[in-house]
Structure formats: C-alpha cells, structure tokens
C-alpha cells in the first residue's frame, strides 16, 4: 500500500522533521521501482493579503490521486521556508534511485535575477530581504533531483498566481510569473502557465491547472508527455487562450504514471489515422500506402497517399543515373544541413520518421528515390525540393488544423453531455436510496455514462495524435523553412506537384499555420500551445 504523510500548517520542529523522515524512508523508499512525491501547498501567509484559496485543496486532491497510483506521498501545507527545506531534504533521500520522483508546489512564486522563488508561509514583506528569507528556489529543487537520480523526475509548479512583489519591488523582480528553466536529461518541468504570465487560482475547489491535472494524471497507459499535453490543451481551451501551461522536458523513453493499460491497448481503441500515416509516410515501397488507403479510404492523408502511389507508377520510366551525372549528390549531402535534409525527405515521403537525423547512406537513398520519381530527374534542384517540402509541411498542417478544429468542437459537446449524464446518474442514485423502483433506471444511466466516456476517450486520443504532429510540423516549418513560411506560398500551388487549388477554409488554415510557425520559430515562444486557442469555435 502507498504510504502517505501530512505535514499540515507546518512549523519548524524536531518532532515534525523526524515524523517526516520516518514516513518517507520507512519501508526502503530507495528500492528499485519506488514512486515518491512531495507536494507543497501554501495558501496562508504571514501577511494575510497574500492568502490564496486553493493550494491546500490542490495538494490534498493530487495526493489522493497519486497515492491511489502507488506513490508514497508527503504533503507539506502552509509551510515556511525552513520547513520546506527540511521536507525537500527528506524527499531527496526518498527519491534516490526511484522509478519516478515527483515534486509539486502550489502557491505564490516569483522570478528574480533569473531565478524562480517559491514562497513559504512566513512571507511577511514585499522586499528583497523578505523574499530571500521566505523562499526556496527552483535551483535547490533541481539539485535534489540531480543528486537523487530517479529514472524520471517531474517538477510541477502551479505557482504563477498574481505576484505580490511586482508593483512594489520592480528593482529586483524580473516580471510576472516564473522564468523558464531548461529540463535536464530524464527531467520534466511543468509550469501552470507560460513564462512571464500569471495563472488563475480558479473559482472552484482547485486551480484551473490542477483541475486539468487531476482529470488526466490518472489516465491508464498514457505516456507522461501526452498526459501533460492533455493538461495543457484543457487549460488553453478552458481559458480561451488566456492561460497556456508550459513544459520543459528531456525525458528518455516512455513513462506511465498509471500502468493499468498498455500503449498497445490504447492504440487499438483510438482512431489511428494520424499515427498510421506517420508510420507509412516514409516508405519507399507502394504497399504501405495502399494499406493506408484500404484502412482509411477517406483518411485525412488520402490525397498524399494517392500522390505517392502515382509517383511510384511513373518511377519505372526514369533513371536516377541521369541526375547523378549532372548533380553531385555526395557533395550536396556533405554540405547541406542534415537536419533540414532529413526533415524534407521525411515530409516528401522518402525517409521514415524516426525523430533523429538520418545518416549519409539513408539520405542518399532517399534523395535517389525522390529524384527517380520526379517529373524530370535530370533537372533536379535542391531549391525546388525544399520548396516542395515546405509546401507539403504547410498542407499537412492544414489537414491537421481541420481535424483539430472539429475535435475541439466535439470534445466540448461531449464534456457537456458528460456533466449532464453524471448529474443525472447521481440524482437517480439519490432517489434510489428511498425509492427502490428507481434502481431499475441505474443500468441504463450507467450505460449512457460509459458510452459518453468512450466517445470522450476516442476524441482525446485523436487530439493527442493531431496536437503532437501539428507541433512537430511547426518545428520543421520554423527550423528548416522559416524564410519560405510566407503567404507567397499560396500563389505557387501550380509548382507543388498536383497538390491542387485550395479552398477558402484551407487558405484560412494555411495562414493560421504560417502565423503559428512564426511563433514557433521565436526562441522565447518555441513549444507554446497558444495556437490551440485559434481553433476555438467563434462565439
């Protein structure tokens, strides 16, 4: 059974520290496969004007959820700086060699001199001295993870509430919210909002960010990165883009907080159109494209699959040697940016998607196949190839935009139906306590709940695929084709190898993609999900 510790309204003291240490270390928390969590929630401050409504509620609810998933949970509530440091020291011992170590903080946080400060309950003055006397820093927390070396380290900061320092201490406070901190290998840092912005405490029992976290953190078989993708998505949609959570991660492999269902189980239940296309789109044989069309005859990428099959049909009439006589592929490959060439050939369908950079042998093989299947192999031009890849990048983004927009509308309708069905079921249960005849209605009400949950599951799964792929396309657009990502692309359709004319809706989504690509190419906003709010339905 998971162990749990509470350190509520904590004050310095040897007895409290010993209890915390015993709870964390009992039973060999250092054993392989252990999962440990330290949750700090500060809602009450020495200056009552700083008080917040939800941090303690957030810690209580998240602790219950993590405990049910096998975490040894320690809660520290309304703690001053020294108590937080002692809790952090005990957590460091418990996290040593753990499978997963998770740190969560809810309360006030500020950025000063490039550092993030998490404020303890003893904060009493909005001065530099008051800050330093009442806070622990993100650097301290990162050092704990570096020394403990868990397989996966997760830091969650719901700490960007309205900054009590901003107006009165501008000389040493950098601005609103928190600042970015790059994740180390095996580390994920999640912020409730993007750098320099303020998060909402929420009108209910929990903050908006923690409410989304509670909804998705227990999803069976969902990789931790996709889970946080869903959390970020929900917050963006719920606040109409006014709050956009941020994640910095360098996670190795896949990690599941709830391991009840495997990834393969999930894949069988979700419409795999996007995932299937990504699997086949780099094949140098026609078979996988035919299989895709057979599985998804009206699939999102049908046009692209048919285009590739048409190229296979004409490839037998061309010889790549003619191009090699006129163009030195070896020299070109040695001089071009390998990341850009890899991404281009992947987009064009001549390299499988691996997430890495292809070696020179793979690049040459992909180039040769691309040239052989082109309309005029002997006039191969790198500039034309990159232009075509940039265009396909945009058109793929346009296709995904259509799917994302549709699924966001569907998800909103499903969420509304779910709330009505849950309330109805609860009401029938209440009536059935005094009226046995009402019990006969419960199976049908439960069946309706299950059907809605299944529909919600499928839409969320599709959005996972579309969101991650769209983000990847934004990266390639910004990193590889930044100079080409302009509206001028709309006037060059005739050169884009039978991609055809675009509709008004497609043009709208192309222009949106170009806007999003510009945001993604900016180092300060790279990785943001702000773009999701552009797909919300108009009022």
Query: What CATH number does the domain containing 181 carry?
Result: 3.40.50.1460
Same domain, 112 and 243: yes
* pLDDT of the residue at 19: 38
* pLDDT of the residue at 72: 97
Same domain, 336 and 192: no
Same domain, 209 and 67: yes
C-beta of residue 325 within 8 angstroms of C-beta of residue 318? no
User: Which of 221, 240, 261 finishes a domain?
Assistant: 261
C-beta of residue 67 within 8 angstroms of C-beta of residue 15? no
Same domain, 69 and 12: yes
* pLDDT of the residue at 375: 74
Helix or strand or coil: residue 149? coil
Same domain, 451 and 486: yes
Same domain, 218 and 101: yes
Domain annotation covers residue 62: yes
Domain annotation covers residue 389: no
* pLDDT of the residue at 182: 64
Residues 17 and 78: their CA atoms lie apart, in Å, by: 15
Same domain, 233 and 254: yes
Domain annotation covers residue 211: yes
Domain annotation covers residue 392: no
Same domain, 212 and 283: no
Domain annotation covers residue 125: yes
Name the one residue in this structure whose structure tokens are 């950079």: 357
Q: Name the burial class of residue 328, with classes exposed (0-12), middle (13-18) and buried (19+) by CB atoms within 10 angstroms of its CB.
A: exposed
Instruction: Count CB atoms within 10 A of the CB of residue 284.
Output: 18
CA distances from 134 to 74, 80, 85, 114, 131 (A): 21, 7, 11, 18, 5
Same domain, 187 and 58: yes
Per-residue pLDDT tens digits of the chain, which is 539 residues long: 343 444 554 444 433 334 343 344 444 334 446 999 999 999 999 988 889 999 999 999 999 999 999 999 999 999 999 999 999 999 999 999 999 999 999 999 888 777 888 999 998 877 778 888 899 999 999 999 999 999 999 999 998 666 665 555 556 665 666 766 666 778 999 999 887 677 777 778 899 999 999 999 999 888 999 999 999 999 999 999 889 999 988 888 889 898 876 555 655 556 688 888 888 888 888 999 999 999 999 888 898 899 888 888 776 555 545 545 567 888 999 999 999 999 999 999 999 887 789 999 999 999 988 888 877 777 788 999 999 999 999 989 999 999 999 999 999 999 999 999 999 999 999 999 999 999 999 999 999 999 999 999 999 999 999 999 999 999 999 999 988 888 776 564 444 444 456 677 888 888 899 999 998 888 878 888 999 999 998 76
Query: What is the token pair recorded at 25?
Result: 């270390």
pLDDT in tens, 85-111: 999 999 999 999 999 999 999 999 888
Of the CA atoms within 13 Å of residue 247, those in its CB half-sphere come to 18
* pLDDT of the residue at 78: 96
Residues 345, 347, 353, 355, CA torsion sign: positive
| Closest among 372, 370, 338 to 356, alpha carbons compared | 338
Instruction: Count CB atoms within 10 A of the CB of residue 373.
Output: 23
Same domain, 489 and 358: no
* pLDDT of the residue at 1: 39
* pLDDT of the residue at 181: 66
Domain span including residue 301: 270-317
Domain annotation covers residue 366: yes
* pLDDT of the residue at 129: 80
Same domain, 178 and 198: yes
Same domain, 207 and 140: yes
> What spatial distance separates the first Cα and last Cα of the chain, rounded to whole Å?
49
* pLDDT of the residue at 28: 39
Residues 158 and 528: their CA atoms lie apart, in Å, by: 17
C-beta of residue 398 within 8 angstroms of C-beta of residue 526? no
C-beta of residue 84 within 8 angstroms of C-beta of residue 46? no
Count, residues in the chain: 539
Q: How many domains does the chain have?
A: 4
* pLDDT of the residue at 63: 97
Residues 219, 222, 228, 229, CA torsion sign: negative
Domain annotation covers residue 343: yes
Query: What is the token pair recorded at 26?
Result: 């009992």
Domain annotation covers residue 391: no
54-80 per-residue burial string, b: 16 or more CB within 10 A, e: under 16? bbbbbbbbbbebbbebbbbbbbbbbbb
């Amino acid at each position: 059974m998971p162990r749990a510790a509470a350190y509520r309204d904590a004050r310095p003291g040897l007895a409290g520290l010993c209890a915390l240490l015993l709870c964390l270390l009992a039973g060999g928390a250092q054993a392989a496969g252990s999962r440990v969590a330290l949750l700090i929630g500060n809602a009450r401050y020495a200056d009552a004007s700083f008080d917040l409504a939800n941090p303690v509620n957030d810690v209580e609810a998240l602790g219950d959820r993590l405990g049910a998933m096998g975490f040894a949970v320690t809660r520290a509530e309304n703690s001053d700086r020294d108590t937080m440091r002692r809790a952090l020291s005990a957590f460091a011992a418990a996290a040593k060699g753990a499978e997963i170590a998770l740190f969560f903080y809810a309360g006030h946080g500020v950025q000063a001199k490039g550092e993030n400060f998490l404020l303890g309950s003893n904060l009493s003055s909005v001065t530099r001295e008051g800050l330093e006397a009442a806070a622990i820093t993100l650097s301290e927390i990162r050092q704990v993870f570096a020394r403990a070396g868990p397989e996966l380290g997760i830091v969650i900061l719901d700490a960007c509430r309205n900054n009590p320092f901003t107006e009165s201490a501008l000389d040493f406070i950098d601005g609103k919210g928190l600042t970015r901190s790059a994740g180390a290998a095996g580390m994920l840092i999640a912020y409730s909002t993007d750098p320099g912005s303020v998060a909402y405490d929420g009108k209910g029992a929990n903050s908006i960010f923690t409410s989304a976290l509670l909804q998705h953190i227990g999803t069976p078989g969902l990789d931790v990165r996709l889970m946080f993708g869903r959390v970020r998505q929900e917050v963006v949609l719920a606040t109409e883009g006014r709050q956009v959570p941020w994640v910095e991660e360098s996670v190795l492999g896949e990690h599941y907080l709830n391991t009840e269902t495997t990834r393969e189980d999930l894949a069988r239940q979700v419409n795999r159109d996007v995932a299937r296309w990504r699997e086949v789109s780099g094949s140098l044989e026609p078979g996988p494209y035919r299989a895709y069309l057979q599985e998804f005859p009206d699939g999102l990428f049908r046009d692209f699959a048919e285009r590739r099959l048409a190229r296979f049909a004409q490839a037998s009439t061309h010889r790549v040697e003619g191009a090699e006589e006129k163009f030195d592929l070896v020299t070109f490959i040695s001089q071009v940016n390998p990341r850009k060439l890899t991404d281009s050939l992947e987009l064009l369908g001549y390299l499988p998607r691996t997430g890495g950079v292809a070696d020179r042998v793979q690049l040459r093989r992909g180039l040769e196949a691309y040239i052989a299947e082109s309309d005029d192999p002997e006039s191969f031009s790198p500039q034309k190839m990159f232009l075509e890849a940039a265009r396909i990048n945009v058109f793929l983004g346009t296709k995904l935009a259509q799917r994302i927009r549709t699924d966001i509308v569907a998800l909103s309708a499903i969420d509304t139906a779910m709330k009505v069905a849950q309330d109805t079921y609860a009401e029938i249960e209440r009536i059935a306590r005094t009226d046995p005849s009402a019990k006969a209605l419960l199976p049908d009400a439960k069946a309706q709940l299950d059907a809605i949950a299944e529909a919600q599951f499928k839409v969320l799964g599709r959005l996972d695929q579309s969101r991650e792929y769209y983000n990847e396309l934004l990266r390639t657009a910004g990193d590889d084709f930044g100079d080409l990502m302009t509206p001028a692309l709309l006037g060059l359709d005739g050169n884009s190898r039978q991609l055809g004319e675009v509709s008004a809706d497609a043009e709208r989504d192309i222009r949106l993609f170009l806007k999003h690509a510009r945001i993604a190419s900016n180092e300060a906003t790279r990785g943001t999900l702000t773009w999701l709010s552009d797909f919300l339905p108009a009022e």
